[in-house]
Structure 1
Amino acid sequence: MGELPSEPAAWAALALAAALVGFSKTGINGTASLSILLFATVLPAKESTGALLPVLIIGDLFALRFYSRHVAWPVLARLAPWVVVGVGAGAVLLWRVDDAAMRVLIGAILLAMLAVQVWSRLRPAKDPDPDSRRGFGRRSAAAGTGVAAGAATMLANAAGPVMVLYLMLSGFPKLRFLGTMAWFFFAVNVFKVPISVGLGLITWPTLLTALCLVPAVALGAFTGRAVVHRVNQRQFEVATLVLSAVGAALLMV
């Protein structure tokens, strides 16, 4: 990203994406997939991952401000080493693929993650503990989730659906769910910064763009906090999944 966007339409799309980031971080998860799509539409696909990362961190800070006390530290401790493995694998792949392949890859990751979310809603939740269901031990569940989340977040900032599935099946209360998600993504996104800088994905124009988008992130974050207890979450998430699936499919065309 050698320079700031110049067209008003591009800034409008980035501002909408930033607001959706804030809303997803503090309200109803799922809208972040639309942010990935909008950034990858306005910017080259590879550069969009680096441009979106500072915006995500800003959203994480709002989420920490609201929910930092509600966190399941043992869950994060089990995931941490496996996330590092996944991020490393994603960084290697990110370095090797070209921009056209990256667009297809981002679209495929989003579709796969959306399929996971749909499956989790259709499958009866007989066991509320994801670490013990159907023969999966605590370590194997954490390993699979951590590697998948690390690779998805490095390649396309798209680890949200993986973590939503893992934590949703744990039966966490809403605030504990949001607090654990907030700390997880803040730590992972900060960990990704030096890697993204080394790959040339984060530059001074990238950081300046993120700074310009702070008001949009704040608007989304405060809106998300206000409506999280006032909307039918199931209907909203179904609509978001449909829109995200359409956007992911368009990326692959």
Structure 2
Amino acid sequence: MDTISMISTWEFAALAAAAALVGFSKTAVSGANTVSLAVFAAVLPARESTGVLLPILIVGDTIAVLTYRRHTHWPTLWRLFPAVAAGVAAGAVFMLWADDGAVRVSIGTILLLMAGVTMWRRRQSLEDRPAPEDTLSLKGRVKARSYGVLGGFTTMVANAGGPVMSLYLLSAGFRKLGFLGTSAWFFLIVNISKVPLSVGLGLISARSLLLDALLVLFVLPGAVVGKLCADRINQTVFERLVIGATILGGLQLLLR
């Protein structure tokens, strides 16, 4: 990864801010790290950016698990994991042949789709939102498998499974703490399982880990700020900013 050694001071500052946002998103607003994804893919070659970002996400996931581990709903996770594994496998096959251009277009498209999903979710008021479904019913199982496959594919290709899983957990009726605790364990397990695949695909190397060693120093401060803001943040304003930045990042990658 020769590109990594050529990062300028301003580019490193942008990556550091994106790493801090990863920590913030893991303890406050799940899915906000789509902005981090856009920053990493803009500064680094798109294909390499997924490998550099993965260890940073794992550090953020670990902090989130330590913070919200008591609120995890394991039955939901066990129902999701088989479908997620299928999605991750499909994503790994895609990454096996995809060049940087294909990955860049894929990430940009996924970001725009995820922004669209998030806007659709926000348009549903609390009163209009359907009642939580029985996840053991046929419809509930089909829904879990569909979201699981899509979440696994998007997280393998672009580390962008957050909005997909956020939408699923919200539709399943999770309240704030249960949402954060369940998603924390979900992404920690899934992201760790992606490491061998990412190493095999050449996305993670000794050089990329050196950059990670510097960037992870910014994850903890972001997580601390997120925990302090979790109960005070104006969710509506922040989500609008996240959506806007995600759309701009996706368009930037597609038009690059």
Q: Shift of the alpha carbon at 1:187?
A: 0.3
Gaps of 5+ in 1: none
What TM-score results when the alignment is normalised by the length of structure 1? 0.95
Query: Could you tell which deviates more after superposition, 29-38 or 77-86?
Result: 29-38
On the 8 A contact 1:5/1:11 being kept in 2, the answer is no
Shift of 1:97: 1.5
2:112 pairs with 1:111: yes
Deviation at 1:5?
Answer: 4.8
Summarize the alignment of residues 3-42 of structure 1 with structure 2, pairs less than 5 Å apart.
Answer: 3-42=4-43
1:77-125 deviations in Å (ceiling 9; x for gaps): 1100000000000111111111112111100011111111111222354
Q: Secondary structure in 2 aligned to 1:129?
A: coil
Give the 5 Å matches for 1:52-131. 52-123=53-124, 125-130=128-133
Q: 1:130 to 1:244 in 2, by over 3 A?
A: farther
The count of corresponding residues between Structure 1 and Structure 2 is 251
Is the 2:15–2:39 contact (alpha carbons within 8 Å) kept by the matching residues of 1? yes
Which 10-residue stretch deviates more, 4-13 or 106-115? Answer: 4-13
Q: Which amino acid aligns with 1:154?
A: M
Please tell me the residue identity of whatever aligns with 2:76. Answer: V
- Cα distance in 2 for partners of 1:189, 1:145 equals 17
The alpha carbon displacement at 1:213 in A equals 1.4
Please tell me whether the aligned partners of residues 68 and 179 of structure 1 are also in contact (alpha carbons under 8 angstroms): yes
> Do the aligned partners of 1:26 and 1:178 also contact (CA within 8 Å) in 2?
yes
Match of 1:236 among 231, 235, 238: 238
Q: Which residue of 2 aligns with 1:248?
A: 250
**1:29 positional shift:** 2.2
* Structure 1 outlier segments of 4+, above 2 Å: 1-6, 123-128
Offset at residue 210 of structure 1 (A)? 1.3
Q: Which residue identity does 1:107 align to in structure 2?
A: G
Q: TM-score, normalised by structure 2?
A: 0.94
Structure 2 residue runs of 5 or longer lacking an equivalent are none
Partner of residue 216 from structure 1, selected from 215, 218, 221: 218
Q: Is the 8 A contact 1:130 1:166 kept in 2?
A: no
Deviation at 1:147, TM superposition (A): 0.1
- For the aligned residue pairs, the C-alpha RMSD in angstroms reads 1.5
- Alpha-carbon distance in structure 2 between the residues aligned to 1:117 and 1:222: 25
Letter paired with 2:170: M
**By how many angstroms is 1:9 displaced?**
1.2
How far off its partner does 1:4 sit?
3.7
Retained in 1: the 8 A contact 2:30–2:180?
no
Conserved 8 A contact 1:145-1:166: yes
